[in-house]
Amino acid sequence: YAVSRADFVAQMDYLQQNGYSPISLAQLQKIRAGKQALPKRAVLLTFDDGLQSYAQFVVPMLKIYKFPSVLSVVTAWVDGKHQPPEYAGHLLGWNELKTLSREPGVEVISHTHDLHHGADGNPQGTDLPVSVTRFYQPVTENYESEALFRQRIAEDLRTSVDRLKSQLGTEPLAVTWPYGKYDGVLVDAARELG
């Protein structure tokens, strides 16, 4: 999850020296639409969570290489809600994100609004990702209904899109799933939002 500066530079050197072609999500859309060819050895450079190190180190370094990148942000965290304790004071704010989103080669996308954490997912109290888990209700000994789960997911993704659009002026091109976990409900909700 964390890469030292020296390792990051070595990785970017490797990509450049070995013929890799970092592409943007906007390019990927054109490729999928048949308007542009996929370059050989295409890769997406993605960065999760919206840490300040992205603006302070990654973007300046990628400018040297002329590599585009994608930044995924949890909009509730940017709003100051439910931030992980280890991220306190280390996350980018809306003003910084607005500036970054105007940089050539930087795309800011959704990492959901508030689905990047865990909750009780069963009677044993197992902490599971809330993006793919129907909440367990210990009082009633029942799980969240499918309808409520779908509603919660749709509302969360809509909130993320709305926050990004209102703060940055554009809707995100994509969503990055917390912990890499997703299911058909998330895919359907994301597809409905475009």
**Cα–Cα–Cα angle for 6, 8, 9, rounded to 5 degrees:** 65
- Successive 10-residue mean pLDDT values, the chain, 194 residues: 89 97 97 95 96 97 97 98 94 98 97 94 91 92 94 97 98 95 94 92
Distance CA 42, CA 32 (A): 13
- Residue 191 to residue 16: CA distance in whole angstroms: 34
Tokens of 4: 């030292």
What is the Cα–Cα distance from 191 to 194, expressed in whole angstroms?
5
Instruction: Report the Cα 188 to chain-centroid distance in Å.
Output: 17
pLDDT attached to residue 77: 98
- Residue 1 is predicted with a pLDDT of 62
Cα distance between residue 92 and residue 149, in whole Å: 30
DSSP-derived 3-state class of residue 91:
strand
Residue range 92-148, pLDDT digits in tens? 999 999 999 999 999 999 999 999 999 988 999 899 999 999 999 889 999 999 999
Contacts of 107 (CB under 8 A, 6+ apart): 24, 25, 26, 68, 69, 70, 71, 101, 173
Which residues lie below 8 Å from residue 41, measured CB to CB, with a gap of 6+?
18, 19, 20, 21
